[in-house]
């Protein structure tokens, strides 16, 4: 068996390689839409008969909101001395899990495409390559389900904690005659898009598992068994 590199771009035109190329782009967009995100919400504090205040809440990936400083220690708000106040919640575990899966999927797609266009003769002449590819594809499909669901829930927590209701639940807005309202919202459209790409990756990887399975020895053995069974039946009675 020849194992050297042999450039052959035709597998990319087949479903096996083309879907892997689509997965590469989908994984890229998934982590790019949330990995570099940074936003700022403007909170207006209405102090009743006193002078109103304006605060800024700047948050970014990986959304450890409980470390985002809202009010400095001993700061004066509505003529009251406040203790150090932060936003609520921590969605870092879900978004970091999501980004990790996306990056690993991105790298695996690059490796798989390299094998497809340069070592497809080795890939199809051995049982290990297709079986390994199928198992990894199935695992990634499952991981996309987990990480996309976790990040979708984590994003809802981010929206709540940075919204009027979440801000109002902080220590700052519990004082009498003090009301908090988010008057300027940072766009979270790219974060919503990242969730969409997460579930889109789930669909693509699940569908690709079938095309990879067709390359495995399991599929070949099933075909042979069916053909032998059909031959064994012979012609029916007249």
What are the backbone dihedrals phi and psi of residue 213, each rounded to the nearest 5 degrees, phi first? -60, -35
Is 234 a member of any domain? no
Alpha-carbon gap, residue 206 to 51, rounded angstroms? 57
Is 225 a member of any domain? no
Number of domains in the chain: 1
Is 180 a member of any domain? yes
Model confidence, pTM: 0.85
Residue 33: predicted pLDDT: 94
pLDDT in tens, the chain (238 residues): 566 778 888 888 888 889 999 999 999 999 999 988 999 999 888 887 777 888 888 999 999 999 988 888 887 777 778 788 888 889 999 999 999 999 999 999 999 999 999 888 888 888 888 899 999 999 999 999 999 999 999 999 999 999 888 888 775 676 656 788 888 999 999 999 999 999 999 999 999 998 888 888 765 555 544 544 555 555 555 4
Structural domain of residue 200, as residue ranges? 15-219
Is 193 a member of any domain? yes
Alpha-carbon gap, residue 144 to 140, rounded angstroms? 6
Is 229 a member of any domain? no
Is 166 a member of any domain? yes
Burial of 230 (0-12, 13-18, 19+ CB in 10 A): exposed
Is 236 a member of any domain? no
Is 84 a member of any domain? yes
């Amino acid at each position: 068996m020849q194992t050297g590199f042999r450039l052959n771009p035709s597998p990319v035109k087949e479903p096996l390689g083309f879907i892997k190329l689509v997965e590469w782009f989908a994984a890229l967009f998934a982590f790019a839409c949330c990995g570099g995100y940074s936003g700022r919400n403007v909170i207006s504090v209405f102090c009743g008969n006193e002078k109103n205040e304006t605060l800024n809440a700047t948050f970014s990936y990986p959304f450890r909101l409980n470390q985002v400083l809202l009010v400095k220690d001993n700061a004066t708000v509505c003529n009251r001395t406040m203790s150090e106040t932060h936003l609520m919640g921590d969605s870092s575990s879900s978004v970091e899990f999501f980004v990790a899966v996306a990056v690993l999927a991105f790298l695996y797609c690059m490796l798989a495409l390299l094998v497809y266009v340069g070592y497809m003769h080795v890939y199809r002449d051995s049982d290990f390559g297709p079986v390994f590819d199928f198992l990894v594809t199935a695992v990634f499909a499952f991981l996309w389900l987990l990480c996309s669901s976790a990040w979708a829930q984590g994003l809802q927590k981010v929206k709540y904690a940075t919204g009027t209701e979440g801000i109002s639940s902080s220590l700052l807005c519990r004082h009498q005659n003090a009301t908090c309202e988010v008057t300027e919202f940072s766009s979270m459209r790219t974060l919503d898009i990242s969730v969409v790409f997460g579930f889109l990756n789930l669909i693509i990887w699940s569908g690709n598992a079938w095309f990879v399975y067709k390359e495995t020895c399991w599929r070949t053995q099933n075909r042979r068994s069916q053909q032998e069974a059909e031959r064994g039946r012979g012609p029916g009675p007249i």
